[in-house]
Amino acid sequence: MSTTKGPMLPSLLEDDPVAQAAKGGSGSSSRGGATSKIPPQTLKLVIAVVAIVAAAIISYVNIFGGENTQARSWQRVMIDSETRELFPDFPLKFGDTMPFVNPKTGKRTLYQAEMCYWTKDGKAQFPGIPVLLNEYLSKAEPTTCPDCGRRVTFNNPPPPANLLDAARNQNKGK
């Protein structure tokens, strides 16, 4: 048994700031500043505040921002088969069928337009050209777009997304 008398000398490691930092001590780091950790309670509080702010922003946009997509989904572009007048935001009613009643004439002469997004030179355009399909009028010949001359069908397919996006972006500047 060995007994030491007198003060105990500190270990060489206790003087090393890197060793102190690794042990969680309060020594200074090798970069000259003190090491610090964010307390778990503070971190939880920051995360909770960020989540609440994000939820508030999303709720506000959903309630007050943008157009009413539900109401918009019940609107269609219609063309009168007699006058060729366009009704760009015609409101549909549940149970209604084509041809729809023209509010100006009272006649059932409104048909849903098919959109053609092509130009004569093969580029896309936005907005598209509304076209009345010949099949709605019991005509045998295929429907062609009056603007570009391409064939237009029921649920007419649009141009590829990259062409349509370019046309939409070009139209935003006008």
User: Residue ranges of the domains in the chain?
Assistant: 37-66, 75-172
CA-derived radius of gyration, the chain: 36
Give strand ranges (E) for the chain. 75-80, 86-91, 100-101, 108-112, 114-118, 124-131, 143-144, 151-152
Q: How confident is the model at residue 59 (pLDDT cuts 50, 70, 90)?
A: confident
* pLDDT tens per residue, range 69-128: 655 566 789 999 999 999 998 888 888 888 999 999 999 999 999 999 999 988 888 888
- d(C-alpha 135, C-alpha 144), whole Å: 12
The percent of residues in the chain predicted with pLDDT above 90, rounded, is 39
pLDDT surpasses 50 at 29: no
pLDDT surpasses 90 at 36: no
pLDDT of residue 170: 83
pLDDT of residue 87: 92
- d(C-alpha 135, C-alpha 155), whole Å: 13
Q: Cβ distance 134 to 113 under 8 Å?
A: no
Q: How confident is the model at residue 27 (pLDDT cuts 50, 70, 90)?
A: very low
* CB within 8 Å of 169: residues ≥ 6 apart: none
Question: Which ranges of 65-160 would DSSP assign to H, the alpha helix?
Answer: 69-72
- d(C-alpha 75, C-alpha 91), whole Å: 4
